[in-house]
């Protein structure tokens, strides 16, 4: 291999590194969390929804809807409900869940109930193992298998993929309070 070929290989490696740097999401938590405006679908009452969740037998036959989520919030004495939308391939989602996991006691003290919402994946076992690795077991793990919720909530356009991460904060009556995009150095405290 000649000098020119080695120089070309080095230049290509540098170019590839630069390209990866530009396209890889920045996972730096040096700035505040991205607070997004609530879409019109979330202004006022939360739209109807149904999520699949694990039942007491360990099978995914339970349905979580608005009424059931209100009941869970009331029973747990929660002041706020956090819907944390995720996909197992989403690195920023994983990092955000790790941050929330580190602050679990504070979340509980502030009366925050966390619901993990897996969007568009139908391998419940894989997503469940992923959630066990990065989240807390006491959080409610649910599935939006057909990815209907993002569109219904105005988080994505019809037929488009949902942008991740997204965290929706609701009051105990399920009224939307805040929508967070990319987590920052104030996460999860921004949820309080």
| Confidence category of residue 59, pLDDT binned at 50, 70, 90 | confident
Give the residues across from 13 on adjacent strands.
none
Residue 26 pLDDT exceeds 70 = no
Between CA 101 and CA 70 the distance in angstroms is 23
Mean pLDDT of 52-77: 91
Which of 135, 139, 156 shows the shortest CA–CA distance to 147? 156
**Mean pLDDT within 167-187:** 95
Query: Positive or negative CA dihedral for 26, 31, 37, 38?
Result: positive
For the segment 105-159, what is each residue's pLDDT rounded down to a tens digit? Answer: 999 999 999 999 999 998 999 998 999 898 888 899 999 988 999 999 999 988 7
Among left, alpha and beta (phi > 0; psi -120 to 50; other), residue 178 is: beta
Superfamily (CATH) of domain 34-191? Glutaredoxin (3.40.30.10)
Identify the band that residue 55 occupies on the pLDDT scale cut at 50, 70 and 90: confident
- The pLDDT, as a whole number, for residue 118 is 95
SS3 state of residue 30: coil
- The DSSP secondary-structure symbol of 63 reads E
Domain ranges of the chain: 34-191
Express as a percent the part of the chain with pLDDT over 70.
85
Query: Are the CB atoms for 181 and 78 separated by under 8 Å?
Result: no
**Which H or E element spans position 71?**
helix 66-76
* Per-residue model confidence (pLDDT) at position 4: 54
**Per-residue pLDDT, 101:** 93
């Amino acid at each position: 291999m000649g000098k020119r070929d080695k120089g070309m290989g080095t230049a290509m490696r540098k170019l590839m590194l630069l390209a990866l740097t530009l396209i890889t999401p920045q996972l730096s938590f040096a700035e505040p969390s991205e607070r997004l405006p609530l879409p019109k679908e979330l202004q006022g009452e939360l739209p109807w929804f149904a999520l699949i969740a694990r039942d007491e037998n360990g099978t995914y036959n339970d349905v979580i809807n608005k009424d059931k989520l209100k009941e869970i919030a009331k029973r747990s004495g929660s002041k706020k409900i956090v819907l944390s939308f995720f996909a197992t391939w989403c690195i920023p989602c994983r990092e955000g869940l790790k941050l929330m996991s580190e602050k679990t006691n504070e979340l509980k003290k502030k009366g925050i109930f966390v619901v993990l919402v897996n969007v568009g994946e139908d391998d419940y076992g894989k997503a469940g193992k992923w959630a066990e690795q990065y989240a807390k077991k006491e959080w409610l793990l649910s599935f939006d298998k057909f990815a209907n919720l993002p569109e219904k909530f105005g988080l994505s356009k019809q037929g488009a993929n949902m942008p991740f991460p997204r965290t929706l904060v609701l009051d105990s009556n399920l009224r939307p309070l805040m929508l967070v995009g990319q987590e920052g150095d104030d996460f999860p405290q921004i949820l309080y």
